Amino acid sequence: MENSEYSIQLTSEPQHIVPAQDTVLTLTHEKPLKLEISHEKKIHLIIVNEDLSYFNHIHPVETEKGYTVKTKFPSSGKFHLFADYKPSGSDQVVNKLEVSVPGKAPSAEEYNKEKLTGNSGAYSITLVADQGKFTSGHMMIAGILKKDGKEIDPLTLANYLGAKAHVVLISVDDKEYIHAHPEVENGRYKLHASFPKPGIYRGWIQFQTEDIVHTTDYVIQVVQQRGNSESGH
């Protein structure tokens, strides 16, 4: 979805970002561009840190300067930003950006084992691969939603940004980005995912209940698809 035809410039105020203090980010396109509303917003901005232990999903709004949003960066270090939007008459586009917050970054977190159940409050979602393993290339993932340990139907949830859930998957090594919206079938989430290659991926699922947005996080080990000697592209 990276498209050189649509490039974005990122500026911050203050220019030298201070951890845990308000920062205003402004995104501007090099040429005037009309954006369609996609899942109730014109731009979805995903922010993660270098080791993918931090995740934030925010929505810049259109102003005279461009698209602006106020946020806080939790620490020093490198952050990766993914601006996800749909130009009028075009496919969805993702621009990858970077921000460096001055100072010494915390020690990187390492992901030595899978985490396939994410929890938020009374809720949990467990990911189940259709073939028992998460593989490169296209595959199906079921999501089992529970409240207080009892399985419930995702259709009973409120919509969050026009969907019953939003899923972001990012590879640990090269920050490959996947943004998907699962369907609901037979009382469970059903997610079509295409992992570009094997490796460790971090995942986040966001959903809404009673005006509270929940975020559950995952560590997924993706193995080589059988019979496919290529990287999965």
- Say whether both 92 and 176 belong to one domain: no
Q: How many domains would you assign to the chain? A: 2
Q: Which of 28-37, 149-158, 222-231 has the lowest mean pLDDT?
A: 222-231
**199, 214 Cβ separation under 8 angstroms:** no
- Say whether both 135 and 175 belong to one domain: yes
- Say whether both 210 and 141 belong to one domain: yes
Question: What is the Cα–Cα distance from 16 to 102, expressed in whole angstroms?
Answer: 7
**69, 58 Cβ separation under 8 angstroms:** yes
Indicate yes or no: pTM above 0.75.
yes
DSSP-assigned letter for residue 32: -
pLDDT at residue 227 in the model? 64
pLDDT at residue 207 in the model? 97
In a domain, 106, yes or no: no
**Which amino acid appears at position 49 of this protein?**
N
For residue 31, give the CATH number of its domain: 2.60.40.1930
Q: Which of 27-41, 85-99, 218-232 has the lowest mean pLDDT?
A: 218-232
Q: Which domain holds residue 151?
A: 117-223
Average pLDDT rounded to a whole number, residues 32-56: 95
CA nearest neighbour of 67 among 114, 29, 37: 29
- Say whether both 213 and 125 belong to one domain: yes
In a domain, 39, yes or no: yes
- Say whether both 157 and 59 belong to one domain: no
Percent of the chain beyond pLDDT 70?
95
pLDDT tens digits along 57-92: 999 999 998 999 999 999 999 999 999 999 999 999
Radius of gyration of the chain (CA): 18
pLDDT tens digits along 161-191: 999 999 999 999 999 999 988 999 999 999 9
